[in-house]
Structure formats: C-alpha cells, structure tokens
Chain A
C-alpha cells in the first residue's frame, strides 16, 4: 500500500524527515504522533504527492512516486481520501456539491445514486446540512463533511491530518468511530494526531499501530503508550 525506503524530505536546506523506512500493509490502521512541528503534515503530504521526497524511495499503491506525471498524481489521488488539517472546501458551493466533488472531477458523478449518497451523509450525521455553504457549518461538521468527501470515491487509503484537532472530546470520539468503521470495511487508515488520549481510546477498539515522529525519523512505538 505504502512503502518508504530511506526516504527523506527537506524544505530548502532544512531537513524535516530523513532515513524513513516504513511498510504499511493494506487494511492496517496507523496513528502518526509527535509534537507540533515534528513533520506529521509533511509526511502525509509525501503520501499524497503534494510533496516529493528529496531522498530515498516512496512507493504508493505500488508506484514509485518519482516516476509520476501530473496526470498520474491526479489518478492516484482519486484512490486516496485526504482529510486536511484545515479541511478545505469550495466556499461558494453547497455541502452536497462539495462532498460530491471527487466524483464530479473524475466524471463519475452518476455512479453514486441518491440512496448511497444519503447513506453516506447520514453516516456522518450531516443529512440536514447538504444545502448549507461550508462557512455556515461548525468545525465538527466541517471535519465530518471532509471525511465524507474523502471516502465518497471509496478509496483504498485514507489519510487524516489532525481530524480531531479543534473538536471537543465527544465530537473527536465520533470522528474516531467513523475512521475505525472505515478500517473495519477494509480501508487502510493513517491518522496524524498529537492527542494521546484519542490513541488510547482507539487501541481498545481496533488493532492500531502507533508511529512516533521524532528527530526527523519515524519509529514504531511500543506498547508503553
């Protein structure tokens, strides 16, 4: 699914990641943790080719990212659901159009019938908000809408960057539950978070592994968490 070998990344001269080795198997659930500024977002951006490694090898969905053309990247992103840290929407379009956008841009909007779409948005609890504009939603609602948009194409890999970042505990639990359900459906999930409490809660519900990002490198954390 995702494979890194001695992968490194630096912004200009500033090294953020170096010598990262990682092998993410399909269907697994990972947390990526580390202090703010450690490079969690940078790592996820490498995973969806918003950034390219400056060293080493990154393979995504069995393709070496170095050989990818812009068109290939667009194709790969259709198989990856990204929940952005500051979940971005197109602010002048309503939530339904926003959530359907991945289908729209890949010319598959007709493939998801209304029933399935209603199922999806009731799953994230946003049935009543589909004609609202993104700025009219609360941050918890926006996070759930971002999650709905991330999974609307039924992607193989879901990358979530601090999906519970500025939510209260109850809402964070809700998002976590959705992510765990997705994993139970067979999706590979990687969640970047600095919320250890959240990780502990998750570990009681799913076989999640924890990656710790420190000193520019990623290590699998032990059971001591």
Chain B
C-alpha cells in the first residue's frame, strides 16, 4: 500500500511538478536522439516477441484443448467379424470410467475423411476399410494402459490411437516457444533499462556543473533527478510509440492466417490481442522512469 502510494506520488510529480524545472538540463540533441532511437528499436522487437508469444500460446492452447480430450479407436477385422468386434469395443468403452461419450464414425463421415486421397466415389462397402470409433474423454480421462489391455483382450482388431503420443511434443514445443517469447520481452525490457541507465549516467556526468549549482542553492536530490527523469521518460515514450507503430504496421502486412493451424501464417495478432502492443510505450516509459531515477539518485548520493 505504502509502495503503491509512493508510486502514485512519483507519477504525479512527474506529470505535474514544475515543467520549467526541466530546463535546468541543457538540451542535448545527439544523446536524446540515440535514446529515442534505441527505445524505438526495442519496442519494434518487442512487438514481434509479443506476437510470437501470443501465437504460440494460441497454438499450444488449441492443440492441447482440442486434441487432448479425443481419442480414436481403429478396428480392422475380416468382413464377418467387424460388427462383433465393433460391439465388443462399444461394450468395453461403456464400462470404462473416464469416458464422456463414444461414437462410431458413419460411412458418410468416413468417406469425407478419405475423399482427399481416393476421390468421392469410393465404394466403401466393398473395401476392407477400418472402422473408426471416436472417444471423448472426461476431464480426468480413462486409464489408457488399462483400456488398451482390455481392448486387445475383447477385440483383437482394435487399436487405440492415443493422440497424446504425437501431440505432446508439439504442445511442448509450442509452450517452449511461448516462454521464449515472454523471456525475450523481459530481455528487451532489461536491455532498455540498461541502455537508459547508461544514457542517464552520461547525461548526469556531463551536467556536473548544473548539478553542483542546483545543490548549492538548496535543491533536493529528487528535484534534480526529476529534471533528468522527465527528459528520459518522454524520450523513451516517444521512441517506443514510434517503434510500436512501425512494428504493428509490419504485422498488418504479414500474410493473414489462411487456415487454422497453419503456424507461420498465424503468427500475427488476432482479435483483441491487437490491443496488447499498446502497452509497450507506457511500459517503456515506466522502465525509463525507474532506470533514470535510480541512476540519478545513485549519482547524486555521491555528490556533496
């Protein structure tokens, strides 16, 4: 609570305060432009890190959500035994706990599934095509090993196709990518803080004369710090706003997501996620605020 009200006070100080006080820091075009440029470049990178993080997050969620709760049982049996094995499988499923529902895929559905490979006129009845049973699991799904054993006992032609086997590594990879994206954003923030600290330190060192005059006439450290802090916060905000704008423009011109699951084309922002990059400039300003303030107060503490 105390910290919070201190933060509010700091921000209020920063916003109102006495704007003419800023003029004690001489305008220095070159380093100012460097700060703006770096903040802009960092914001630009942050937009992409954010997009990567959000897109992989979406992917991981979808894969684990959609696929995690469905399992397929494939039954291949000679013509005469098919129906018996199918009944046996349904029976096993009905007596297994952890299963929400199961349904035998209809001929039509199966034909549609195979159409891309064999064309629309596939004589399904005359071909030894395996039958598929789609199983929807409950939240805490069935004991897969137990189910597999029972199936092999009751219906030797049934194969439990547990998607998690091949899905897991994909979900893992997507989650790993998401953490990398998040980590990159943190790195970018850290690099911004470091860069602004260096710039602020050099500004403080270059203005030793100004600082000693201010101290001589009774300026408190926070007053002196504020003049520098405001400069750097405004520069970082401006640079980050430009960088974010450019980054988002680039995102707009990425090819749009053609099809669900197409990873590369789905890299952009979707829906309300377009609003998230708007946080980058204020975040850069907050980072600049604390970095400059820390650098200034540390530097001032060394001056009597």
Q: Which residues of A contact B (CB under 8 A)?
A: 48-52, 70-71, 74-78, 82, 84, 88-93, 97, 101-102, 104-107, 109, 149, 153
- Enumerate chain A residues within 8 angstroms of B221, measured Cβ to Cβ: 70-71, 74
A4 to B26, CA, bound (A): 39
Q: CB < 8 Å: which of B24, B26, B217 contacts A102?
A: B217
Taking a contact as CB atoms under 8 Å apart, the answer to whether A93 and B23 are in contact is: yes
Cβ contact within 8 Å between B213 and A89: yes
Query: Which residues of B lie under 8 Å from residue A105 when comparing CB positions?
Result: 21, 214, 217-220, 223
Of all chain B residues, the one with the shortest Cβ separation from A91 is B209
Bound together, the chains give a CA A91 to CA B210 distance in angstroms of 8
- Cβ of A92 and Cβ of B26 under 8 Å apart? yes
Instruction: Say if the beta carbon of B1 comes within 8 Å of chain A.
Output: no
Whether B218 contacts A50 by the Cβ 8 Å rule is: no
- Residue of B with least CB distance to A106: B218
Q: Please provide the 7 A-B residue pairs with the shortest distance between their CB atoms, ordered closest to farther.
A: A105-B219, A77-B218, A78-B218, A102-B217, A74-B220, A92-B26, A88-B213
Q: In the bound complex, what is the Cα–Cα distance between A93 and B213 (angstroms)?
A: 12
User: Which of A50, A78, A93 is in CB contact (< 8 Å) with B304?
Assistant: A50
Partner of B21, one of A48, A84, A104, A149: A104
- Given the complex, which residues of B lie within 8 Å of A50, measured CB to CB? 216, 304
**A74–B218 CA distance with the chains assembled, in angstroms:** 4
**B18 within 8 Å of A (CB atoms):** yes
Q: Does B95 contact A (CB under 8 A)?
A: no
Asked if B212 and A102 sit within 8 Å, CB to CB, the answer is: no
Of B20, B214, B220, the contact of A71 (CB 8 Å cutoff): B220
- Min CB–CB distance B228 → chain A (angstroms): 14
Q: A89-B213, A92-B26, A104-B21 known; A70 and B218 CB under 8 Å? A: no
Q: Are A90 and B210 in contact, with the CB atoms below 8 A?
A: yes
Contacts of A84 in B (CB 8 A): 216
A88-B209 contact, Cβ under 8 Å, with A77-B216, A101-B214, A105-B217: yes
A59 to B217, CA, bound (A): 20
Q: Does B215 contact A (CB under 8 A)?
A: yes
26 contacts between A and B (CB under 8 A): A49-B304, A51-B304, A70-B221, A70-B301, A74-B219, A74-B221, A77-B215, A77-B217, A88-B209, A88-B213, A89-B213, A90-B209, A90-B214, A92-B26, A92-B27, A93-B23, A93-B24, A101-B24, A102-B218, A104-B18, A104-B20, A105-B214, A105-B218, A107-B18, A109-B18, A153-B218
